[in-house]
């Protein structure tokens, strides 16, 4: 029997994906939050889950180490999406990619005056494109998380980060000044796997499609 490997990240992606997997008749036999295992068996003997960092999901699927996976649009843009089939927006893990600055910083004037801004972000590709489109000169500073701290300690004038409730910005006295794009998570499939394992992958894709609608 052909085996299928699905790459997922812990936390919100796994939580939001579990109901979709269930709709496809797939249930993990262990909870990734409590298990230290990185390969999880499911109730379907030919379907297994691999638990990886959110930003590594596209890489596993690109190289065929996983046949399919679920990744945020933010992560897919940074990865580049090469060789990935992206058939379905799952409408989960919804948030917005935004530019934010400290409450007291006059971003609008700084941009109007053509100031060169220091922008801290994990999303270099997205930020580079956004500011290039606006004709704003920026020095990008790569961070791996907690971007909200950067302007508070003088590392940057602005950040590009994900915003959902706005609570993290508020707690750190920052305000959102521009929305770059809406973000949600997509199903991604390795193109060779789609051809070779279509009899197994297609029903999962169909079940996800029905569940999303
Ligand atoms: P990594 O572990 O690789 O550093 P991460 O910490 O961003 O990635 P998660 O926090 O699990 O990973 O986020 C997974 C995805 O969920 C992100 O790629 C994004 O698409 C989405 N996301 C991130 N933050 C939020 C949020 N506050 N609300 C809703 N969705 C979010
Ligand atoms: C994300 C993002 C923001 C926060 C925004 O971080 O990087 O910090 O969520 O959400 P809010 O608008 O609802 O406050 P996450 O929770 O994923 O933490 P981490 O990336 O630092 O693990």
Check whether 83 has a pLDDT greater than 90: no
The average pLDDT across 205-211 equals: 98
Considering the domain architecture, whether residues 146 and 118 belong to the same structural domain is answered as yes
Give tens-digit pLDDT for 121-179. Answer: 999 999 999 999 999 999 999 999 999 999 999 999 999 999 999 999 999 999 999 99
Structural domains of the chain, count: 2
Considering the domain architecture, whether residues 105 and 85 belong to the same structural domain is answered as no
Distance between Cα 163 and ligand 2 center (Å): 7
Give tens-digit pLDDT for 14-47. Answer: 999 999 999 999 999 999 999 999 999 999 999 9
The average pLDDT across 75-104 equals: 97
- 44 with 2: CB under 8 angstroms? no
Considering the domain architecture, whether residues 85 and 190 belong to the same structural domain is answered as yes
Q: Is the CB of 9 under 6 A from ligand 1?
A: yes
pLDDT of residue 121: 98
Considering the domain architecture, whether residues 138 and 205 belong to the same structural domain is answered as no
**Residue 187 in tokens:** 């199903």
The average pLDDT across 87-100 equals: 98
pLDDT of residue 117: 97
Distance between Cα 184 and ligand 1 center (Å): 10
- 190 with 85: CB under 8 angstroms? yes
Check whether 73 has a pLDDT greater than 70: yes
Alpha carbon nearest to ligand 1 atom 31, residue:
93
- Vertex 129: Cα angle to 162 and 64 (nearest 5): 75
State pTM to two decimals: 0.96
In this structure, what are the phi and psi dihedrals at residue 162, rounded to the nearest 5 degrees?
Answer: -85, 140
Considering the domain architecture, whether residues 168 and 195 belong to the same structural domain is answered as no
Q: Which atom of ligand 1 is nearest to the CA of 72?
A: 20
CATH of the domain at 32: 3.40.190.10
The average pLDDT across 91-115 equals: 96
pLDDT of residue 194: 96
Considering the domain architecture, whether residues 61 and 120 belong to the same structural domain is answered as no
In this structure, what are the phi and psi dihedrals at residue 151, rounded to the nearest 5 degrees?
Answer: -70, -20
Residue 146's domain comprises 95-182
Considering the domain architecture, whether residues 134 and 148 belong to the same structural domain is answered as yes
Considering the domain architecture, whether residues 71 and 100 belong to the same structural domain is answered as no
**Residue 51 in tokens:** 């638990």
**Residue 100 in tokens:** 């934010």
Give the side-chain half-sphere CA count within 13 A for 181: 13
Considering the domain architecture, whether residues 86 and 188 belong to the same structural domain is answered as yes
Alpha carbon nearest to ligand 1 atom 9, residue:
54
pLDDT of residue 2: 83
Q: CA–CA separation, 120 vs 159, rounded Å?
A: 5
Q: Which atom of ligand 2 is nearest to the CA of 167?
A: 14
Considering the domain architecture, whether residues 12 and 73 belong to the same structural domain is answered as yes
- Of the pLDDT bands very low, low, confident and very high (cuts 50, 70, 90), residue 54 is very high
Which DSSP letter does residue 24 get?
A: T
pLDDT of residue 209: 98
- Of the pLDDT bands very low, low, confident and very high (cuts 50, 70, 90), residue 1 is low
Ligand nearest to the CA of residue 91, numbered in listed order? 1
Considering the domain architecture, whether residues 12 and 71 belong to the same structural domain is answered as yes
pLDDT of residue 140: 98
Considering the domain architecture, whether residues 87 and 114 belong to the same structural domain is answered as no
Mean pLDDT of the chain: 97
């Amino acid at each position: 029997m052909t085996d299928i490997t699905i790459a997922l990240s812990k936390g919100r992606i796994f939580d939001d994906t579990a109901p979709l997997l269930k709709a496809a008749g797939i249930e993990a036999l262990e909870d990734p939050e409590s298990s230290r295992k990185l390969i999880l068996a499911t109730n379907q003997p030919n379907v297994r889950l691999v638990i990886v960092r959110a930003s590594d999901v596209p890489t596993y699927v690109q190289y065929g180490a996983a046949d399919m996976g679920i990744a945020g649009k933010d992560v897919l843009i940074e990865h580049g999406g090469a060789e990935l089939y992206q058939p379905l927006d799952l409408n989960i893990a919804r948030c917005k990619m935004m530019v934010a600055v400290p409450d007291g910083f006059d971003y609008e004037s700084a941009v109007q005056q053509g100031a060169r801004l220091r922008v801290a972000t994990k999303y270099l590709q997205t930020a580079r494109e956004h500011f290039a489109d606006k004709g704003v000169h920026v020095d990008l500073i790569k961070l791996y998380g907690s971007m909200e701290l950067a302007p508070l300690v003088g590392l940057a004038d602005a950040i590009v980060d994900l915003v959902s409730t706005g609570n993290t910005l508020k707690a750190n006295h920052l305000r959102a000044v521009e929305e770059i794009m809406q973000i949600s998570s997509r199903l991604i499939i390795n193109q060779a796997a789609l051809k070779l394992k279509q009899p197994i992958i297609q029903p999962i894709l169909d079940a996800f499609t029905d569940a999303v609608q």
